[in-house]
Amino acid sequence: MDKKAICLGELLIDFVSTLNGVTLRDAPGFEKAPGGAPANVAVGLSKLGIETYFIGKIGKDAFGDFLRMTLDKNGVKTDYLTSTTKAKTTLAFVSLTEEGERDFVFYRDPGADMLLDQSDIIDSIFSGSGVFHFGSITMTHEPSNSATFKAIQLARKYGYLVSFDPNLRPALWKTLDEAREKMRLGIELSDVVKLNEEEAMFIAEANTIEEAIQYLQRSYNLALVIITLGKEGSILIHQEKSLRVEGFPVHAVDTTGAGDGFVAGLISSLYMFWNDLRERKPIPDDTLRYAGRRANAVGALTTLKKGAIPALPTQEEVEIFIEENPL
């Protein structure tokens, strides 16, 4: 099959604190950077040689122009990126606290990404076949929630492998119960789901990662679940088995976008056994380990430079990195 990926979700401006180790309150200044998890994944896939399209909505303003230009510059096709005068491009202010946690404030009341509409989602987007990837931020409000689920249904109708990264941001939801309900529905409609430890336990209402894994295996007919463990690597859950894939020891400069880089590395690897996953056939352990190791490599490489999109590696950089870091 042709390597084609479609990513749907938020595309926004991150204003990142110029000083690490402080809260937003104490940040002395901010630097503009393109952001949004599905957009980061789209750029990551494009850099890895996958033909990638992005579905989303930006404001008709200078920030929206900058974001469209950023995707175009990185080879992501913006045919389905629409713009509006009804809201400004969404902004997020971000700082890394002394404890290593990210402090977020979003300006989207509404933001343009929330105005993605069902009329923006048309059948012709899903011509051909490939992988469709989405997040949960467009599920927080209407009309983008209905647009997201329409896109999922069309992707399934046309035989796409459906990938979901919930990317929990509690501040954007009316209640955490609503967040959990929508994320569970997203998982139910997906083939491949990527979670971090916090998200896995949140969705499962579990106290341990082991309980979360049992819940996911028991509750959903997923082709593949991946739980990222930061620098410790990842766990791949396929049918009745779970595989631990070790991470790469690197001196991280900035962890922003590492999870999105991981997703891009994973999706680009899934094309080797895309049909088998879609049909829920068993995948050999060695094949799964290769996909997990490649995803870990992309995630690790993304931490070696500041910013998300500028740090995402090319296919050649990933191959060299893996060769230089054998098992």
Domains of the chain, by residue range, sit at: 4-324
Among candidates 147, 190, 188, 189, which has minimal Cα distance to 56? 147
Q: Which fold has domain 4-324?
A: UDP-N-acetylmuramoyl-L-alanine:D-glutamate ligase (3.40.1190)
**Tokens 């296919």 appear where?**
315
d(CA 43, CA 61): 22
Report pLDDT for 1.
46
One-character DSSP codes across 58-114: EESSHHHHHHHHHHHHTT-B-TTEEEESSSPPPEEEEEE-TTSPEEEEEE-TT-GGG
pLDDT in tens, 122-136: 999 999 899 999 999
Average pLDDT, the chain: 94
pLDDT in tens, 249-284: 898 888 888 999 999 999 999 998 988 999 999 999
The percent of residues above 90 in pLDDT, for the chain, comes to 85
Q: What is the mean pLDDT of residues 57-83?
A: 98
Helix (H), strand (E) at residue 244: strand 241-245
Which of the following is catalytic: 14, 165, 191, 260?
A: 260
Q: Rounded to the nearest 10 degrees, how much is the dihedral formed by the CA atoms of 237, 239, 242, 245?
A: -50
This prediction's pTM: 0.96
d(CA 213, CA 44): 27
The percent of residues above 70 in pLDDT, for the chain, comes to 99
Concerning whether 177 is annotated as a catalytic residue, the answer is no
Does the structure show a pLDDT above 70 at 2? no
pLDDT in tens, 176-233: 999 999 999 999 999 999 999 999 999 999 999 999 999 999 999 999 999 999 888 9
Q: What is the mean pLDDT of residues 13-28?
A: 91
* Interaxial angle between packed helices 258-270 and 37-47, expressed in degrees from 0 to 180 and rounded to the nearest 10: 50
